[in-house]
Chains A and B, each alone.
Chain A
Amino acid sequence: MKNLLFLLMLMVIIGLAGCNFGGDSSNESSTEDTIENSSENTGTVGEETSGKVINLTSDGDIPTLDSAHAHDGIAFTVLNNVNEGLYRGDDAHNPELAMAEDHQVSEDGLVHTFLIRDAQWSNGEAVTANDFEYAWKRVFEEVGHYNVMFETAGIKNASAIIAGDMTPDDLGIVALDEKTLEITVENPSALLNQLLTFPIFLPLNQAHVEEVGDTFGTEAETILSNGPFLLDSWQQDQGWVYKKNPDYWDAETVSLDQINVNVVKEVSTAVNLWESDAVDRITISSSYVDEYENDENFANVVRPEVIFMRFNHNHEHFANENIRKAIDMTIDKEGLTNTILNNGSVPLYSLVPQEFSYSPNEEVDFRELNGEFNQGSVEEAIALWEDGLSEIDSDGFEMSLMSSDDDNHVKSAEFIKNQLESNLEGITVNIKTVPFEARLENEKAVEYDMVISSWGPDYSDPMTYIDMWVTDGPANRMDFSDDEFDSIVAEANVETDAEVRYQLLLDAEKKLMDEMHIAPLYQSADALLTRSKIKGIVRHPSAPEYEYKWADVE
């Protein structure tokens, strides 16, 4: 009887594990060779020993490779490296012609004519103007996540289609012939070329997409490539492999033969993999920074994500400029980033972060041109506080500070509470920690007093931070409204002279920050370990983030 029992148990276990093992081995067979030759100490497979291979990590899987639906940094990076649109961001993050060979603009700036270069998809078919027309219209048919990018770019009728007044067929894009593409915009736009590097504007091969149907973008086999790399394999939650695309029009520029990306979600695991030479580039958390900061492979890179506080402008006290200034000034932002967070992030005294945007001709950092705002001592802050309170006849108030349950945000909230309560007499801060989704809902309903928010850029231009604050804008979420600010933004939106437009952007930020309508806290940063032999990985400030086209191994 006992034997019978064991037999039964074994059968259950083997039965369940067995059928899964079958699944495993099929996974293995497709990735085996790439793994073998990527690890340096295995000399068994000779195929790749001469090739240039790098091993990267990703903190998550690719959700989808359908460019209409892609909605996260991981997918954008993959799409950007296996596909190519009209423009691609160069190593200085400026748009350069890619699938388009030539770009002519009509005199009124409304009609853009692109000549598509001789390039081919990985199934051998030529890339045509129709591939763009089809892909762009499909975004609206599919209700793509980011179809608002078409509105931002001002493509004709995009807004009307989203509003439901027109159909996707009315979009201002038409393939005049096989190689000529005509795009019509609603206003002349200085941003258009920059925006066209975004993956939602990628072309699609209609015949292929229709053939694979629902499975499009869910497997490596169901996508086509027209970019610097081919997606050789993709295992769910495990990783993917890029291989150089021999048929890419600019293939001679591409140096890397293969890129293996492994999904590693735990930082400690990534560090152990790094130590065992299994990966060549990882992002580490603040707890590892002290250990690695003197390593030659270490780099601390500031990112364009800004963390700031929204004031509820309906709140009697926050409608007062001096009170807002006092609250902002009294927070020791350097103490916050260096002591409390200690993760490489830098204090922020403005809306637009540093190392994000540079003026059109002189290439001076936006930050340098506009300087910092509202820096001062605690004494000055107290003086502003007292002025503000007497202006509205108040002797202090109790308020809530909302924060999402993100570790850094919670730490920041506690620090801010301590700073405000110990420096400003009469203020009581109650911290309210909620999940991210709940914070967002409260922000949208403007149901908070102060809230710690964050914002990452949608595109590489200061406008992505500035137009958040126009009256009733979708990212305003604090009932802030200022006619002068609105008119500067409106003017910048139609200005085609790059320098004049840049000045308007500077003015807009100045207008907002002179009165401290938000309280900036810090700009985030990444601590990276990259093997020093790897050169030329370009990281753009906004999506698509990474370019491997120019990467190389010495």
Chain B
Amino acid sequence: MGRYVVQRMGYMVITLLIIVTITFFLMQLLPGTPFSNPEKLSERQLELMSAKYGLDKPLAIQYMTYIGNLIQGDLGLSFQSEGRTVISMIGDRIGPSALIGGQAVVIGVLCGFILGVISALKHNTIFDYGSVFVAVIGMSIPSFVFAALMQYYIGVQWGLLPVALWKDYSYSIMPSLALSAMVIATVARFIRSEMLEVLGQEFVTTARAKGITEFVVIIRHVLRNALIPVVTVLGPLTVSIMTGTLVIEKIFAVPGLGEQFTLSILVNDYSVILGITLFYSALFIFIVFIVDILYGILDPRISMGGGKKDAA
């Protein structure tokens, strides 16, 4: 297990390096400069500014400089917000995104889990149809539709929760609910179909034949096996949802990271693009790693250090 973890860490660093390299060079294909309002900048002024930020140097040198700073933990300064470090920009914005996303995942997993289990145990009854209906709605209607409807009714018409902005805890509830719809639907669908499959397996029949109570059969044998695919989708889903979603953040005026990332690409803010890409990738790779560890706990057939089976 220990050796496995070290090995995986090594792979993670290499993966990140590849991602940074590709992003760095792809970014150069974006037209224009990272300086805002380029329409008003003279050629001479562009020259001076490029020189100041080292953009006049050959690409290879710029790349080496960036990697050198990166190793020392320096992600550089934003071009658009002069003087502000990329690390502080990410740090300031990840909070709201993670809070909303985290709450959405918790709500989504709890509700989705309950719906899925009911659906599978009461297969082909009105309960099953009901929860399938909820899952289909959650899956097919984009979250911004929920967001806009909730904002209008709950916020403006009934005045139950703040319409938008980001001031205290109550401001995070509606965005979380809007985001959770998709999570509920995803989790419910997976739990339902996996449980139905597991319920039909022979070891479940064996367990029942041994006289174990139905409750224990469901918990120990059915659910545990049904959870594997859920964990697989939930890992990446958690990352993407917690690192910010452009549309929800815009609709609820949440100062989050999702919006910042899109903006930085639109305005060619090179260092911010690289910084956020790196942050997303690192988080994503880390979660995939956690998921792999969880596999081993959930399913002893998947081994960690064996080498015969690469869990990646």
Hey, which bits of chain A sit against chain B, CB under 8 A? 1-2, 4-5, 8-10, 12-14, 16-17, 20-21, 23-24, 27-28, 31-32, 35, 61, 63-64, 66, 69, 71-72, 143, 145-148, 162-163, 214-218, 235-239, 262-266, 268-269, 272-273, 275-276, 278, 435-438, 440-441, 455, 458, 474-475
Which residues 44-64 of B have a CB within 8 angstroms of A?
Answer: 44-45, 48-49, 51-52
| Any A CB within 8 A of the CB of B213 | no
Set of chain A residues within 8 Å of B224, measured between Cβ atoms: 1-2
Q: Are A2 and B227 in contact (CB under 8 A)?
A: yes
A16 is contacted by which of B42, B83, B98 (Cβ under 8 Å)? B98
29 pairs from A and B in contact (CB 8 Å cutoff): A1-B297, A2-B224, A5-B294, A5-B298, A9-B109, A10-B106, A12-B238, A14-B102, A16-B242, A17-B103, A20-B96, A23-B92, A24-B96, A27-B95, A32-B167, A61-B81, A64-B84, A69-B83, A71-B35, A71-B36, A71-B37, A145-B36, A147-B45, A162-B45, A269-B151, A269-B251, A272-B155, A441-B31, A455-B39
Residue in contact with B163 in the complex, picked from A1, A148, A238, A276, CB distance below 8 Å: A276
What 15 new A-B contacts, CB under 8 Å, besides A1-B224, A263-B255, A266-B251? A2-B223, A12-B238, A17-B101, A21-B99, A23-B94, A31-B167, A214-B83, A217-B83, A218-B84, A239-B165, A262-B165, A263-B253, A265-B253, A272-B151, A437-B31
Q: Which residues of the other chain, B, contact A31 by a CB distance below 8 angstroms?
A: 167
4 A-B pairs closest in CB distance: A437-B32, A17-B102, A237-B255, A20-B95
Complex: A217 Cα to B77 Cα, angstroms: 14
Main secondary structure of the interface of B (DSSP, over half): helix
A273→B308 CA distance, assembly (Å): 59
Chain B's nearest CB lies how many Å from the CB of A459? 12
B255 touches A143 (CB 8 A): no
Chain A: which residue is nearest B79 at the CB level?
Answer: A63
> Chain A CB within 10 Å — which of B38, B40, B260 has the most?
B40
Cβ-defined contact, A272 with B42, below 8 A: no
Q: Which residues of chain B are near A236, meaning CB under 8 Å?
A: 89, 92-93, 255
B81 A272 Cβ-Cβ under 8 A: no
Given contacts A2-B219, A69-B83, A278-B165, contact A438 B227 (CB under 8 A): no
Q: Are B238 and A441 in contact (CB under 8 A)?
A: no
Is B106 a contact partner of A13 (Cβ separation < 8 A)? Answer: yes
Given contacts A35-B167, A435-B31, contact A440 B38 (CB under 8 A): yes
With a CB–CB cut-off of 8 A, which chain B residues contact A72?
A: 36-37
Residues in chain B within 8 A of chain A (CB atoms): 30-33, 35-45, 48-49, 51-52, 80-84, 88-89, 91-99, 101-103, 105-106, 109, 148, 151-152, 155-156, 159, 162-168, 219-220, 223-224, 227, 231, 234, 238, 242, 250-253, 255-256, 259-260, 268, 287, 290, 294, 297-298
Residue ID in chain A nearest B268 by CB atoms: A437
Distance of A536 Cα from B116 Cα, bound (Å): 59
The distance in angstroms between the C-alpha atoms of A487 and B161, with both chains bound, is: 64
Question: What is the CA–CA distance of A28 and B172 in the complex, to the nearest angstrom?
Answer: 13
Interfacial chain B residues near A214, Cβ < 8 Å: 83
A contact residues around B49 at 8 Å (CB): 143, 145
Q: State whether A21 and B95 are in contact (beta carbons under 8 Å apart), knowing that A5-B227, A13-B105, A438-B32 are contacts in the complex.
A: yes
Which one, B48, B99, B168, B287, contacts A35 given CB within 8 A? B168
Residues of B within 8 A of A235 (CB): 255
* Docked pose: A35 CA to B224 CA in angstroms: 47
B165 touches A4 (CB 8 A): no
Which of B32, B92, B93 interacts with A440 by CB under 8 Å? B32
Known: A17-B99, A28-B167, A237-B259. A276 touches B251 (CB 8 A): no
Residue of A nearest to B94 (CB): A20
Are A238 and B255 in contact, with the CB atoms below 8 A? yes
In contact, B99 and A273 (Cβ under 8 angstroms): no
A4 to B220: give the CA distance in the assembly, Å. 12
Complex Cα–Cα for A441 and B39 (A): 9
Report the separation of the CA atoms of residues A218 and B87 in the bound assembly, to the nearest whole angstrom: 13
Residue from B83, B148, B227, B297 having most chain A Cβ neighbours under 10 A: B83
Q: Which residues of A contact B255 (CB under 8 A)?
A: 61, 235-238, 263
Contact, CB under 8 Å: B250 / A238: no
Please, how many angstroms separate the alpha-carbon atoms of A265 and B165 in the complex?
11
In the bound assembly, the distance between CA atoms of A119 and B56 in angstroms comes to 43
Which residues of chain B come closer than 8 Å to A147, judged between CB atoms? 45
Query: Do the beta carbons of A275 and B156 come within 8 Å of each other?
Result: yes
Complex: A214 Cα to B85 Cα, angstroms? 10
How long is the Cα–Cα vector from A187 to B39 in the complex, in angstroms?
26
Cβ–Cβ < 8 Å partners of A269 in chain B: 151, 163-164, 250-253
